[in-house]
Amino acid sequence: MTTPSTAPRPVRGVWLIPLALILLSLIPIISGSLRLTQLSGGPALIPPAERFTSFPVPVVAHIMAGILFSVGGAFQFLPGLRRGQRSWHRLAGRVLIPAGFVLAVSGMWLASFTDLPAGDGPELRVIRLVFGTALIGSLIFAVRAILQRRYIAHGAWMTRAYALGVAAGTQAILLIPGSTLVGSALENYRAVALAAGWLVNLGVAELVIWRRRRRRLVRRATV
């Protein structure tokens, strides 16, 4: 039984979590929206890319899935939206998990079958395929865990999947200073910066998972 002193208390500023995650994804969301406008026949507000105009279907799928996964997934971290059999968390998950698969598969397709743009070398193609595979693997493990009613494991794998899926925001931040100093077409720098973006997000995800585990242990010790 939980005593008044150990009862769970609402976390102040809990809405700052989804807000921060959406802000992190703002750069790829804006650039993706501009690309969609361009592909739909609107004004070319960003430089056109032949590799995108030649294969609009996977591009549109990648952008739409990325926006849905990053914005919708941000609210999955709110504890208050997880309560009840028909909670936001459960209903949204049925949309977000397929979106995550579409995001990964379309990204890997574009990395494999379109021409490399300036600044992208074969190393970066391999890196994209590796982390795309990691995203698919995380989603598969998350689905398996929820089917087995292992909710803690499901949450851990979805946290990893979300971290991989929204890495474009972190990558944009890491690319800005280097692009200013050495230019955006330097292959080695782009490969390192993009790989670092995925790794930084995964590191943060593992920290979040570890803190959840520690809180559960503390609760058990005080009950």
- The per-residue pLDDT for 4 is 42
Pick out the chain residues at pLDDT < 50. Answer: 1-10
Per-residue pLDDT reduced to its tens digit, 103-115: 999 999 999 998 8
Give pLDDT, residue 82: 72
Rg (CA), the chain: 19
Predicted local distance difference test score (pLDDT) of residue 185: 56
Distances (CA, A) of 153 to 142, 162, 199, 201, 203: 7, 14, 20, 18, 17
Cβ neighbours for 60, distance < 8 A, ≥ 6 positions apart: 36, 39
Give 7's DSSP letter: S
Q: CA-to-CA distance for 52 and 54, rounded, in angstroms?
A: 5
pLDDT at 137: 98
Q: What is the pLDDT of residue 115?
A: 84
pLDDT in tens, 32-43: 999 998 888 877
- pLDDT at residue 85 in the model: 58
pLDDT at 99: 97
pLDDT at 6: 41
Q: pLDDT value at position 181?
A: 64
**pTM listed for this prediction:** 0.87
Query: What pLDDT is recorded for position 74?
Result: 93
pLDDT at 3: 39
Q: Alpha-carbon distance 223 to 218, whole Å?
A: 9
> Buried b / exposed e across 113-148, counting CB within 10 Å, b at 16+?
ebeeeebbeeebbebbeebbebbbebbebbbebbee
- Tokens linked to 133: 């595979």
